[in-house]
Amino acid sequence: MSEPKKLYIKTYGCQMNVYDSERMAEALGGAGYVETATPDDADMILLNTCHIREKAAEKIYSELGRFRGLKTARPDLTIGVAGCVAQAEGEEIMRRQPMVDLVVGPQSYHRLPELEAKARSGEKALDTDFPAEDKFEHMPARPKAKRAPTAFLTVQEGCDKFCAFCVVPYTRGAEVSRPAARVLAEARDLVERGVREITLLGQNVNAYHGASDGGDWSLARLVRELARVDGLDRIRYTTSHPNDMEDDLIAAHGDEPKLMPYLHLPVQAGSDRILKAMNRKHTAEQYIRLIERIRAARPDILISGDFIVGFPGETDADFADTMALIRQVGYGTAYSFKYSARPGTPAAEKALVDPQVADARLQELQALLAEQQRATQESMVGRDVSVLFEKPGRQPGQMVGKSDYLHAVHVADDTIAKGDIRRVRITRSGTNSLAGTLVG
Ligand code: 5AD
Ligand code: SF4
């Protein structure tokens, strides 16, 4: 047998890209590749990219520039760009960086082995189709090797919401759900390989409608069925849209113990005028009422969100509404971004807010969110939580894991093994993590 070729794959952006990178590495595994941790000795470099904001997309070009020396020294090195920049910019990438041999979009990476062979033969290989076939059905079977105790599993892709700022409906395409039976089979397989926690992924995951046995499964039904899988102890899902938060899913948060008490539910802004301009199709009040219903079902649930500041037309009063919403909801954690105009999106036509004003607002908003995050973490001190341990910590004898609320928790105790779920009493809150001791 010939020597395996080496693949260096670097992932940017969201959790779905992390999942996709795993699957792409598996697809290329069938073509004789094994993964390597450095680009220096790689036969193929693959960047799995993100197009959500300008900064993320531009970073790819500077990253590619850094590989120029390697490509000059070894012209047979294959350089590929995958993911959402590939989808959005296609051939343009090869024009801007002629050393790129291969461009593949997120919906066609099952064709990677063919594309790699084409690139290797010296031709440029490009595929940014939205093919009719389901890529997952054309992927090699997943390997059987043991793996980390937590895993991502894509159940839904694409988005039909068309928020005015967002490229996702263009880069990931229309909403598609994977059949429930396939998801369940993949989940069982992951559990056999040592996985105890699965995060179900989708750009609009709570809009999941997976066909199964002639029926149409909601995300709640999928979660309940997954909860029956022995050995799977924790279920999470992300990212959700407020308008798809159906009653059955809210109920599952109340009575399905394996569904973790953490929900990422972005609202983006707190001003009705801006929400309308963003095409979010709900008001601030509707969102707040929704959070109340979710908290009625599961009082300790930790809410997370995304915010955009400086959306075109945002006034001081609009921004004040966003700050008021944040105060009213009380976030356990949240992500916030300065608006970035994205080519092809409706909002890109509109005049920008003064960048200095937007920067100042972002700082103010982030200070409030950081304060809420700190207070939420502090409130854990003295409480008992369950922690799934994932890896050794920096101190000797210490292990790190995630609590049900997704906080990182450090415990020094040499009876803890990777993959254990243990009750932990939280004793201290640090900058970005908690510390505690085993209970009982
Ligand atoms: N500018 C800034 N932030 C954006 N997001 C999406 N598109 C943009 C944009 N054009 C943010 C939203 C979304 C998160 C994944 O990224 O908050 O929820
Ligand atoms: Fe983008 Fe999310 Fe809006 Fe879809 S729902 S367009 S992915 S921000």
| 399 phi and psi angles, rounded to 5 deg | -120, 150
For 37-44, what is the mean pLDDT? 96
The partner residues of 424 in beta bridges, in order of sequence, read 385, 438
Judge whether residue 343 has pLDDT over 80: yes
pLDDT mean over 371-395: 97
Cα–chain-centroid distance for residue 190?
A: 18
Residue whose C-alpha is closest to residue 407's, from 261, 266, 255: 261
Model confidence at 123, pLDDT cuts 50, 70, 90, reads: very high
pLDDT recorded at residue 26:
94
Average pLDDT over residues 44-64: 94
Using the mean position of ligand 2's atoms as its centre, give its distance from the Cα of residue 234 in Å.
26
In terms of Cβ atoms closer than 10 Å to its own Cβ (0-12, 13-18, 19+), residue 16 is buried
Is cis: bond before 239, omega within 30 of 0?
A: yes
Q: Is the pLDDT of residue 211 over 90?
A: no
Atom 5 of ligand 2 has which residue's CA nearest to it? 161
Compute the distance from residue 312 Cα to the ligand 1 centre, in Å: 13
Mutation probe of ligand 1 site: the residue of 53, 203, 206, 336 with most atoms within 8 A of C-beta: 53
pLDDT band of 426, cuts 50, 70, 90:
very high
Mean pLDDT of the chain, nearest integer: 96
Determine the distance separating the centroid of ligand 1 and the alpha carbon of 277, expressed in angstroms: 14
pLDDT at 20 > cutoff 80: yes
Whether 353 lines ligand 1, by a CB cut-off of 6 Å, is: no
> Facing residues of 111 across strands?
none
- The reported pTM is 0.96
Query: Which tokens in the block code for residue 411?
Result: 């415990």
Enumerate the H helices of 123-209 as residue ranges: 168-171, 180-192
Distance CA 218, CA 205 (A): 10
The answer to whether 232 touches 271, Cβ cutoff 8 Å, is no
- Pocket test of ligand 2: the residue of 241, 278, 306, 308 to mutate, having most ligand atoms within 8 Å of its CB, is 241
Residue 178 has pLDDT above 60, yes or no: yes
Amino acid identity of residue 343, one-letter, is P
> How many CB atoms neighbour CB 160 within 10 A?
12
Write the pLDDT tens digit of every residue in 55-96: 988 999 999 999 999 999 999 999 999 999 999 999 999 999
Question: Mean per-residue pLDDT for 9-37?
Answer: 95
Residues having CB within 6 Å of any atom of ligand 2? 159, 161-163, 166, 168-169, 203-204, 241
Q: Is the CB of 311 under 6 A from ligand 1?
A: no
Neighbouring-strand partners of residue 433: none
Which pLDDT band holds residue 1 (cuts at 50, 70, 90)? low
CA 224 to centroid of ligand 1, rounded, Å:
30
Q: Which pLDDT tens digit goes with each residue over 160-174?
A: 999 999 999 999 999
Q: Ligand 1 in contact with 84 (CB < 6 A)?
A: no
Phi, psi at 86, each rounded to 5°: -55, -45
Instruction: Give residue 110's pLDDT.
Output: 93
Does an H or E element contain 64, and which? helix 54-65
- Cβ–Cβ < 8 Å for 157, 16: yes
pLDDT value at residue 215: 83
Unique residue bearing structure tokens 């945002």: 314
Strand ranges, E, within 292-356: 302-309, 333-338
Q: Is the pLDDT of residue 2 over 80?
A: no
pLDDT digits (tens, 9 = 90+) for 257-313: 999 999 999 999 999 999 999 999 999 999 999 999 999 999 999 999 999 999 999
* Confidence (pLDDT) at 108: 93
How would you class 255 by CB atoms within 10 Å of its CB: exposed for 0-12, middle for 13-18, buried for 19 or more? exposed
Atom of ligand 2 nearest to the CA of 166: 1
